Amino acid sequence: MQKGTVQVDDLTARSAACTKAGKPAINSVVETDQSKAAADVISGKTDAMLADSPITAYAIKQSNGQMVSVGTIYDAAPYGIVVDKKQTAFAQVLSDALAELKSNGVYDQILTKWGNSAGGVDSFPVNP
């Protein structure tokens, strides 16, 4: 996994749960770059990698069949675009643009291109 991500804390907690249950600890390898974590799997240095679902989906797509997804997405939360609260008109323009991309199919094409179809949403609310 990549240094500084929520996955470091997650896997640390999961490893502790394993040892508490009498199972072996998870041997974590923390890399400075996500691309190194993916390369570790492809090279056989590690058995798996853990990252946010869009990152994992893209790594799998780029691996040319050398990596596959195991299990399902957990603790998912949608990504957002942060805009200054004073810029609500701009935020609405972004929301409208994303809605248009969704309605004309381009949004889904982009998700497919990057291997992240499972990460799509159907609405783009402004929440100031």
Question: pTM of the entire structure?
Answer: 0.70
Residue 50 lies in a domain: yes
**Residues of the domain holding 56:** 6-62
Q: Do 15 and 46 have their domain in common?
A: yes
Residue 126 lies in a domain: no
Q: Tens place of pLDDT for every residue, the chain, 128 residues?
A: 999 999 999 999 999 999 999 999 999 999 999 999 999 999 999 999 999 988 998 899 889 999 999 988 888 777 889 999 999 999 999 999 999 999 999 999 999 888 788 888 999 999 86
Residue 35 lies in a domain: yes
Domains in the chain: how many in total?
2
| C-alpha count within 13 angstroms, C-beta hemisphere, residue 60 | 19
pLDDT at 128: 64
pLDDT at 49: 95
